Amino acid sequence: MYRAGALGVLITFFLIIWATVLMPMVLFNPKPSGHGNNYAVSNKEVADPARGRQVYVREGCFYCHTQFTRLQDRGYGPLVKAGDYVFETPHQLGTARTGPDLTNEGGKYPAQWQKAHLINPRAVKPGSIMPSFSFLSDRDMNDLVAYVQSLGNERKVTAYVEAPAEYMQGTIPKTVDTNSDAAANAGRGLYIQDCAACHGMEGLGNGPNAISLEKKPANFTRPFYKQYSDEFWYYRVTEGVPGTRMPRWGDGGNLNDPRGGILTPEQRWYLVAYLKTLSKDRTSEDTVDKLDQLNSVGIERLPVITKEQWEPHSGEE
């Protein structure tokens, strides 16, 4: 009886392993999605992202940074598919998010910022616990930045939280011409008054309030936002973002009531007109294609510290 029980336990164990580990290993063969990272850049003389990837692996960036986005990962950009990783060996999925997810990091900040951040994270992100990588050679550093700037550069939005049907094209009257400069300018005024404290004067998500927020305000200059439709912008501004401190600026009930909400529908459309103007192309001056700018940031090496300075009590008895 005892033996039969033990056998049952063993069979159950291996059945589970077989079904959840071995079978998927054999049967799961995703096709290349065509949206993986593209490590080819024009000016390899300045920096080579493919080599930078090796530096990323060698330095163990994946101990603290993941490279996958899920539906609930608001703010990390377009979602990934299994097929995005077909050519990623070894893949850099990671498991711990001590630092933010880097799936779509490319183009989020200028290359110079990335370099300065790697040399001394605290200099550009006060309070950061990321270690300094100032010990990297010039070549390693530039290649690593080029790699970081290439992350997500081919990724298209194929799935994100969609606006509910009542927001979709045509069902909500657009009371403002969201493509006109005048509307964008009106929106800018509202933005400075209501949004800049969190989203920053230039929409970089770095307003003074951002420091105290667990979920950081959106950076509207990201290329990702080029793909938002007017309706989707309007939906976000009206309903806010659940799970974050992003307020709901509409009343949520009657979408067209001129008196409804903190901001009227017209004001929200003005904001849409302004928000649309903030996102930048990946190819604009702030992104990976101007890798030459990397050389304008010198590598500042941190002072070498003796063991006693690291561990001030080690010498004392």
For 44, residues 6+ apart whose C-beta sits below 8 A from its C-beta are none
Pairwise CA distance, residues 257 & 268, whole Å: 12
User: Quick one: 194 or 266, whose CB is closer to ligand HEC?
Assistant: 194
Residue type, 262: I
**Residue choice 51, 155, 188, 199 for contact with ligand HEC (CB under 6 A):** 199
Joined together, the tokens standing for residue 129 give: 């616990």
Q: Does 100 bind ligand HEC (CB under 6 A)?
A: yes
Q: Does 130 bind ligand HEC (CB under 6 A)?
A: yes
User: Quick one: 54 or 295, whose CB is closer to ligand HEC?
Assistant: 54
Residue type, 17: I
Write the DSSP string, 209-222: GGGG-SSPPP-TTS
Sign of CA dihedral 37, 135, 116, 283: negative
User: Quick one: 105 or 231, whose CB is closer to ligand HEC?
Assistant: 105
Q: Does 175 bind ligand HEC (CB under 6 A)?
A: no
User: Quick one: 34 or 60, whose CB is closer to ligand HEC?
Assistant: 60
Q: Does 276 bind ligand HEC (CB under 6 A)?
A: no
End-to-end CA distance of the chain: 63
Neighbours of 120 (CB within 10 A): 16
Q: How near is the Cβ of 255 to ligand HEC at its closest, in Å?
A: 16
- HSE-CB for 269 with a 13 A CA cutoff: 18
Q: How near is the Cβ of 317 to ligand HEC at its closest, in Å?
A: 32
**Residue choice 39, 99, 266, 295 for contact with ligand HEC (CB under 6 A):** 99
User: Degrees (nearest 5) of the Cα angle 123, 69, 90?
Assistant: 85
Site for ligand HEC in 216-275 (CB under 6 A): 217-218, 233, 236-237, 241, 244-247, 249, 271, 275
Interface residues toward ligand HEC, by CB under 6 A: 56, 59-61, 63-65, 74-75, 98-100, 102, 105, 108, 114, 121, 125, 128-131, 133, 144, 148, 194-195, 197-199, 209, 213, 215, 217-218, 233, 236-237, 241, 244-247, 249, 271, 275
